[in-house]
Structure 1
């Protein structure tokens, strides 16, 4: 994220001013102060994203519970030898059978279903933890984005203030006849540019706080922060090396592969035919007697042998294996990249601090020289733009440090402040 540089068209500036005013008017009068990040994360247990993940666990638990159910029996009633030709025109020769039918699963189908259901619960919990880690990462970035927006407004306000001071100095020299009127117009143009950048920063700040508020489902939008992640939060987040095999993405892929393998086993066992045991009582009206009946029903698996479902489940296992390999490779690459990016960001931040100190001194000397009439206005404007750029580079370096630490914390399954996520 770099500070805005360059002249904006007049209609763009007007549009930003109007949008900023409309958004500010639309906000409730009592805007909230966002609590510290750790508190905000802890209080976001009912955020929509987390609620969806928890519902996924309950869904898997329901399927697991259903997998334990045995086949339901059935009762049938059958009446024969009635309403036909003689001697069966009436009901005096009726034979009525009351029968109880119980399906019996063979081939270990129920145990396979139970194992697959339990694996589904394990996978849903792994998915929930991965979602919580991702939510903590995104929330930290949203929180930091709001803080960065605040700081960019501060930088823009400093540039406006310095541009106003430069304009007053130019006007004084023009009034004393030491500068052409063109110099005052150049200073005024520079002030207009800085003012436009300030309005853009204000609009970006409104958007950043709106995203943060929407992410946690806050009823009243936040308007300020009570804590800093760029200064304090990330420093304690990373402890020890990262094991790519222990990342939530890899653990989720492993759980999904195991669940897919057990679902394949379920489909294979379904190819084994089940039987239905029948037992009943038959009433013989003509003989005025009762008899027991019994039997077994065995389906003939001639046409449907569940081959399509077995092939589909086998393809799911292959896809799960591929996703696991991808997750392992990506986790290994991300761990190496994040560590390298953090080292680079730290070096960049150190260089940015030195560059800002140099730019501060350059602007101070250019201002003294210009007010003494020893240097032209263009050198003063260039020094001020250089100072603004140095401030923006330093903020960009802090942002890069935060991003690298946040990625490392996510790979470790931790929050940006270092707490493990269960």
Structure 2
């Protein structure tokens, strides 16, 4: 069963279109490169060919055998030389009983399906890993813009402070305090830039190539709505992770049926011609042979396959329960993150922006001190950073849900969350 991996809501489901530069990478491009060059996926065509060869091998029936025997030669008396020779030429064929060929083919087909299931899990994991690296890079890019906005505000405060200092209303210690804060912010921006560079290489490692892009395109501010939990649980039952257990159980059943078939003895039929030189006579000969199965030759294998079936059934049920609980946990986390972002957007961020605006105005008028202004700036910067972190966690949690279900889960309706300061100005 082949499943389609969702391009996460961060880019595609949100309908976000960005006219990117040639050096900007989109998520579909990243996923396409992963499908083409990820080392985990390169082995599948060869594994598929081996599985097809196994099916061909399983369908082969035993070949007939030609038997030639020469008796009563090079003896003494009447058997001197070849005078009394008896030549028998016969053709024999093994007849498989118990539908052995059909059971072999059935097992090979189930094992081939298991290879496809394994590939599908590897494919989903590879795409999810690439998307996760992509989201982390996108988060760092947003943090880079956040750091630049923060520096811009601090530079504006420094300019205002220098004007007050020239007027004699500010001492040099306050100027130094602002410069120290600005230096720390510039160091933080440099660290973010370095993290972006490292993350570019981590993302490009998904397709075993050096990065040929400067940035990735996307929008973290749009939060897709998620289907009800009951619908997600239904999608989970169709996921590759659980379907693979079904295939494993079918493989064990096929192995048990093949073992039962192999426990039945085969029959060998033969027919031929016998020539007697001594009497100058020819005669037809017929033969039938089969082993005597006084005990079950496959008793141990049968018990092993039965135990394997029981174990797989237990594993299937345990995995179903564990994954169901995990889906519920991730769904609740998404709801909590959405509520948190709503509070930050409607309450915390506007309040922090107002505090900073009033503090800057009061500082310019000499009504509040520098420490209060810097504290207000930190409150605003922290609120904006909390939004970016929460948005990133939301999309990563959504990605984990998609990895679990193997299905697109976001609805068409979206909830935008505006966070950048310049969007509120």
Q: With structure 1 as the length reference, what TM-score do the two structures score?
A: 0.77
Paired position in structure 2 for 1:215: 206
Give the conservation status (yes or no) of the 8 Å contact 1:253–1:327: no
Shift of residue 138 of structure 1?
3.4
Compared CA separation, residues 175 and 107, structure 1 to 2 (3 A): same
Greater relative CO, 1 or 2 (CA 8 Å, sep 6+): 2
Q: Among residues 195, 209, 230, which one is paired with 1:204 in the alignment?
A: 195
Contact 1:349 1:394 in 2 (8 A): yes
Aligned residues: CA RMSD: 3.5
1:253 corresponds to: 245
- Specify whether residues 216 and 230 from structure 1 end up closer, same or farther in structure 2 by C-alpha distance, changes over 3 A only: farther
For residue 104 of structure 1, report the CA deviation from its aligned partner. Answer: 1.8
Structure 2 equivalent of residue 235 of structure 1: 224
Q: CA deviation at 1:324?
A: 1.1
How many angstroms apart in 1 are the aligned matches of 2:147 and 2:75?
100
Distance 2:370 2:75 in 1: 117
Residue in 2 that maps onto 1:387: 380
| SS, match of residue 241 in structure 1 | helix
Return the match for 1:264 from 256, 268, 271.
256
Q: Unaligned regions of 5+ residues in structure 1, if any?
A: 1-29
Listed one character per residue, the Cα deviations across residues 10-40 of structure 1 (whole Å, up to 9, x for unaligned) are xxxxxxxxxxxxxxxxxxxx984323x3465
Using the alignment, how far apart are the partners of 1:200 and 1:364 within structure 2? 28
Q: Is the 8 A contact 1:237 1:415 kept in 2?
A: no
Match of 2:36 in 1: 46
Q: How far apart, in 2, do the equivalents of 1:102 and 1:413 lie?
A: 50
Are positions 1:64 and 2:77 aligned together? no
Is the contact made by 1:159 and 1:194 (CA closer than 8 Å) also made in structure 2?
yes
Cα distance between partner residues in 1 of 2:275 and 2:22: 81
d(CA) in 1 for partners of 2:409, 2:201: 21
Over 3 Å counting, the alpha-carbon distance change for 1:405 and 1:87 in structure 2 is: same
**Structure 1 pair 60/316, CA: closer, same or farther in 2 (3 Å)?**
farther
Measured after TM superposition, the shift of residue 329 of structure 1 is 0.6
1:350, distance to aligned residue in structure 2 (A):
0.7
Secondary structure of the residue aligned to 2:231 is coil
Deviations 1:312-366 (A, max 9, x none): 3223312321221123112321332232122111101111223222222222333
How many angstroms apart in 2 are the aligned matches of 1:289 and 1:219? 84
2:315 to 313, 323, 347: 323
* 1:406 match: 399
User: In structure 2, how many angstroms separate the alpha carbons of the residues matched to 1:109 and 1:66?
Assistant: 13
Structure 2, unmatched stretches of 5+, are 1-20, 413-425
Is the contact between residue 238 and residue 409 of structure 1 (CA under 8 Å) also seen in structure 2? Answer: no
Q: Distance in 2 between matches of 1:119 and 1:87?
A: 62
Matches within 5 A, 1:149-228: 149-170=140-161, 178-216=169-207, 221-226=212-217, 228=218
Following TM superposition, by how much is the alpha carbon of 1:416 offset from its aligned partner in structure 2, in angstroms?
Answer: 6.7
Alpha-carbon contact 2:200-2:211 (below 8 Å) kept: no
